[in-house]
Amino acid sequence: MAEVIAAVLMTAGTVFFIAGTVGLLRFPDIYCRLHALTKADGLGLALIALGTALLAGSAGAVFRIALIWFFVAVASATCSHLVARHARQTGTEVQHG
Amino acid sequence: MTPDLIYGLTGIAVFGIGLVGALCALDRLRRVLALKLCSVGAGFLLVVGAWRAPPGVPDPVPHALVITGIVVMVSATAVALALIRRLQTLEAEDER
Amino acid sequence: MADPLMIFDILLALSIVALATASLSVRDQFTMIVLFIIFGLLSALAWVRLSAPDVALAEAAIGTGVTGALLLKTLHHLRFVSGSRNRQPMTGVAPLPPVPLGVTLANAAFCGLITLGLAAGFLGAPAAGPGFDMLVAEAMPTSGVAHPVTGVLLNFRAYDTLMEVVVLLAAVVAVWQIERGLSEAPAPVMGVVWQGFARLALPAIVVVGTYLLWGGAEAPGGAFQGGAVLAAMGLLLLLTRAYVPQPGHRGIARWAFVLGTGVFALVALLVAGGGRVAFEYPLEHAKTLILLIEGMVTISIAVTLAALFHGREPVALTTGGRHDT
């Protein structure tokens, strides 16, 4: 049972990752792309981490997966902030339409 | 088609790409990067040589060699990059 | 035949080759470095597939993380020196004369021949010949550690590892000499969010680095991976300007550079003094000695890699001389 739930969670996570990647490729400017990437990939990562945690054997492994999720989430948020900040400072325009 | 065949050919391809880059690239940063690609390609071949089909345990000696290689490569890269920085600064001063 | 893992392997292999090609052919140097970093991380993933987690950790932390940071730092410096932060500095201020197309093609053809020869040699090699597996497996009980790679690195092939630490030491000596009196590009200002991230990440990095070092006795990890993670802490400290290298700290830094080599060589000499071969640790002390060496080597690796990233030896501003602008 746990394996089925984990598989569903991971598949859902993958779908979010694909959505984020489509957004990265299709959106017009850097701010929209960051928006797609951070939101979709953040959720996708959380779902996949949840799925792997269900399959993990021990409490220690679950704890490590939770830590990995936390730090990847924080690092990706910081990186996106730095990218957006750099884009704004160097005067990248927001594209309309 | 086992992983060792797939990744062995990958390693050779990466090595070849790095070799072309190291000989043909014009800017210095790219040449250093190409040499790094060569070292990753060589690492692939060693790791593939250590691989054993799933129930088997991989051979630890090539693994240790690749780890040594990675650390030596980062040292060499650091010195090469310092030389590049120095050369560029000297050229910029000559220009002034 | 349709093994899903095989499809994964082929896709991963194709993306690795594509990223290697792209990183050498893309025009913009920043894009080149970013593509290279992705290439390194995917190679690490491939090495996990080949059941080499130690190598994957080392490649991700040192081969990709530290190398990528060094490349980005150099790019920042080059753009600062040529005074065109946003334009493309191609080969330096004085452009190199173009290479004749014939020479380039001949070079490429030559490389292609070598690659084909390697591929033929690889495909023709006897499959799965005897390796060192049996020898290592037999000797493991005498090594003092439970993880084979650590046993090979710190016990059976300890000379290699000693020389590797010496190479790192030589690299930092060379970099300090080369960069003597070089002007430094101003560090980029990273902002408040970044500072907050650094405050959150710093203690975690210390824990992870120590865990990798300690866990290396039984599981993948060890001195090099732990040292690289601790070096990342040095990079964060340098980038947040929480630590600015002072000329007065050079003495401490020099001691930290030679600590690993010194302790390593000293242990070898002491063991050799007791009527044994240089790295033939007495069994009852083997684990202690290996952990002692690993701990000291980790400190040296961390400080050396951070110093390699910082580049120039910290000197007093009054002696900065004509290069300082």
pLDDT in tens, B31-61: 999 999 999 999 999 998 888 777 777 888 8
Residue C181, CB-side half-sphere exposure with 13 Å CA sphere = 5
* C191 contact residues in A (CB cutoff 8 A): 81-82, 85
**CA of C313 vs chain A CAs: smallest distance (Å):** 28
* C119 contact residues in B (CB cutoff 8 A): 9, 12
Cβ of C17 within 8 Å of Cβ of B17? The answer is yes
Neighboring chains of C (3 or more beta-carbon pairs < 8 A): A, B
Place of tokens 């602008």: C325
> Percent of chain A having pLDDT more than 90?
23
Give yes or no for A82 touching C (CB within 8 A). Answer: yes
What average pLDDT does the segment A53-70 reach? 88
What average pLDDT does the segment C197-226 reach? 84
> What is the C-alpha to C-alpha distance for residues C210 and C231, in angstroms, rounded to an integer?
12
What's residue A97's pLDDT? Answer: 53
> Percent of chain C having pLDDT more than 70?
90
Pair of tokens at residue C183 = 């002007």
Give yes or no for A70 touching C (CB within 8 A). Answer: no
> Percent of chain A having pLDDT more than 70?
97
The helix (H) or strand (E) run that includes residue B55 is none
Using an 8 Å Cβ cutoff, are B19 and C115 in contact?
yes
CA-based nearest residue to C307, from C123, C177, C120: C177
**Please, what is the end-to-end C-alpha distance for chain B in angstroms?**
59
CA-based nearest residue to C298, from C250, C233, C244, C238: C233
Give yes or no for A92 touching C (CB within 8 A). Answer: no
Q: Calculate the CA dihedral of residues C127, C132, C134, C139 and round it to 10 degrees.
A: -170
Domains (range + CATH), chain B: 3-95 (1.10.287.3510)
Residue B5 has pLDDT above 60, yes or no: yes
Q: Where are the alpha helices (DSSP H) in C26-100?
A: 29-49, 53-58, 67-81
CA-based nearest residue to A42, from A64, A81, A13, A11: A13
Interface-testing mutation among C48, C51, C64, with chain B (most B C-beta atoms within 10 A): C51
User: Whole-model pTM above 0.95?
Assistant: no
* C83 contact residues in B (CB cutoff 8 A): 92
Give yes or no for A7 touching C (CB within 8 A). Answer: no
> Percent of chain C having pLDDT more than 90?
17
Interface-testing mutation among C31, C122, C156, C157, with chain B (most B C-beta atoms within 10 A): C122
* A87 contact residues in C (CB cutoff 8 A): none
Using an 8 Å Cβ cutoff, are C37 and C61 in contact?
no
